[in-house]
Structure 1
């Protein structure tokens, strides 16, 4: 039986907290329900935009179990299992698979500003993760890791490691890198994906991207763009992108991971838009600006919970 190929809009779900910073599992479920209702082809959990770096191992397991049980197969779920240690990442990935994940997303091993691993170590790292599971691995190529991953090296990982087949490219000149990756990797590149809140969505799809992993606040808007592009109506996709770009830009450049929670709280999806300390709450003026831009577009998030 052929493995499914995942395409389309797979936004990152926030990890929902109450005002005291504790997990709000009912809010978590509502956030997931909204994202599915808004047209997400799938969702990703425990990513950087999910504040995965602020969660304990026990909390990660709780969120993973809660979301996968609640989704119950309605859409595929990607679980981020990034860890510096090869064994820990492999164990996390196996646990995610056993819980029902469709795919795992893994950054290359890094720690702090200076601890990095060479290409041989990175290859061995992904090989050990692949050996532990039977589902696809998405490599997240993002500046936060501080680890250069050249397109020829990524293509080699795809050719030589069984389950490495998806790539979320979030570096500068992402479209150029996607083109090179697709050219060098051929059929081994099952899923070349766009990321970084869709700020480069159209150039990346022009380069051959087939998926978009964005923030979770307005999947309906991203879905309109991606659906138009997939149908071959590039002119309509570009026009829609121009409509949604101010909101995409505001999230990407002004708000970061807090944008999704602010939109969800405003629309009654969740009760609290708290982020985990030491992250700071969104400045009131930034919040005002975000909502002003969003209201012009009338995304589902502002109406879903009302």
Structure 2
């Protein structure tokens, strides 16, 4: 049941054709770019993956395709974001059946569960599967916080092993490390706090803009872990205006526009999402164009 919850793990976007079917050709282009850049895992079906719009069969196809592309070189994680415990158990079973290596789990969707209900939900699903689990703690967007006391209860289960820390409070990295030491891996889930979180001891980064800029993202992580902080900061300062596109209600559209600019994606989203329009589109394009124009030279980060 061991799983190495460390490194850069892209929350990959789901690619769609003009006819609103899965675009597996462009999906493969992006996944290969992520692997070539040296990412450490791949997360499917998260917010960026437009999970709420995907059918069960589409999730199966995405898992099986990604497992084939990864070819054992790095783990494939699928997000579980369901409304009922029964559906979450079924999703975990399907993930295992289709070849996923791990799960990222959100609290129940739509219903604002109590602390007791939330812990029971996670426990029940975890007991139903042997797959390792990363709890996704994002009270800003999903209105339910998984507190330290709740995590303490959940860690009685061996396959709950990591937390995606998205409270937007970087001090939580230290709080978690102080309380749990190495019992719980911490992965930053907020692009604009990634380097800060890594420097405070986060084990990894579930990243968004990595979808368009995989090499720069992995370089920041590897340089920081190697103690080459000034070099990491230089790249991170260039990256920040782009990273801020991730903390926006239209993050999917923003990041898909960035993927177009770097040649590893398309702008197609699934309704009710629609491509950006008007002044906001121009604003985002200006940020992306400036970022592409000034992309920094990278050291040989893979050899660190």
TM-score, normalising length: structure 1: 0.88
CA contact (8 A) 2:81 2:109 kept: no
Which of 178, 181, 192 aligns to 1:183? It is 178
Question: What's 2:64 paired with?
Answer: 65
Between the aligned partners of 1:252 and 1:92, the Cα distance in structure 2 is: 27
CA contact (8 A) 1:179 1:207 kept: yes
Question: What's 1:117 paired with?
Answer: 113
Between the aligned partners of 1:74 and 1:169, the Cα distance in structure 2 is: 25
Find the residue that maps to 1:276 and give its secondary structure: coil
Question: What's 1:259 paired with?
Answer: 254
1:210 aligns with 2:207: no
Question: What's 1:304 paired with?
Answer: none
Which of 143, 147, 157 aligns to 1:146? It is 143
CA contact (8 A) 1:46 1:80 kept: yes
Between the aligned partners of 1:76 and 1:83, the Cα distance in structure 2 is: 22
Question: What's 2:275 paired with?
Answer: 281
Q: CA deviation at 1:274?
A: 0.8
CA contact (8 A) 2:20 2:270 kept: yes
CA contact (8 A) 1:126 1:161 kept: no
Between the aligned partners of 1:187 and 1:100, the Cα distance in structure 2 is: 27
Q: CA deviation at 1:287?
A: 4.5
Question: What's 2:290 paired with?
Answer: 293
Between the aligned partners of 1:44 and 1:243, the Cα distance in structure 2 is: 25
- The 5 Å alignment of 1:211-250 reads 211-215=204-208, 216-250=211-245
Between the aligned partners of 1:299 and 1:220, the Cα distance in structure 2 is: 11
Q: Which stretch shows the higher mean deviation, 276-285 or 220-229?
A: 276-285
CA contact (8 A) 1:16 1:28 kept: yes
Q: CA deviation at 1:254?
A: 8.2
Between the aligned partners of 1:40 and 1:241, the Cα distance in structure 2 is: 17
CA contact (8 A) 1:244 1:297 kept: no
Find the residue that maps to 1:199 and give its secondary structure: helix
- Output one character per residue of 1:75-134: Cα deviation in whole Å (capped at 9) or x when no partner: 2111112212212212211221232222100001131xxx22122222221112111222
Q: CA deviation at 1:155?
A: 3.0
Aligned pairs, how many? 291
Question: What's 2:50 paired with?
Answer: 51
Find the residue that maps to 1:40 and give its secondary structure: coil
Find the residue that maps to 2:134 and give its secondary structure: strand
- Output one character per residue of 1:144-192: Cα deviation in whole Å (capped at 9) or x when no partner: 221122223223322x22211110111131x211211222223321x20
CA root-mean-square deviation: 2.1
Between the aligned partners of 1:48 and 1:21, the Cα distance in structure 2 is: 18
TM-score, normalising length: structure 2: 0.88
Find the residue that maps to 2:145 and give its secondary structure: coil
Between the aligned partners of 2:168 and 2:188, the Cα distance in structure 1 is: 12
Q: CA deviation at 1:286?
A: 3.4
CA distance 1:233–1:100, shift in 2 (3 Å): same
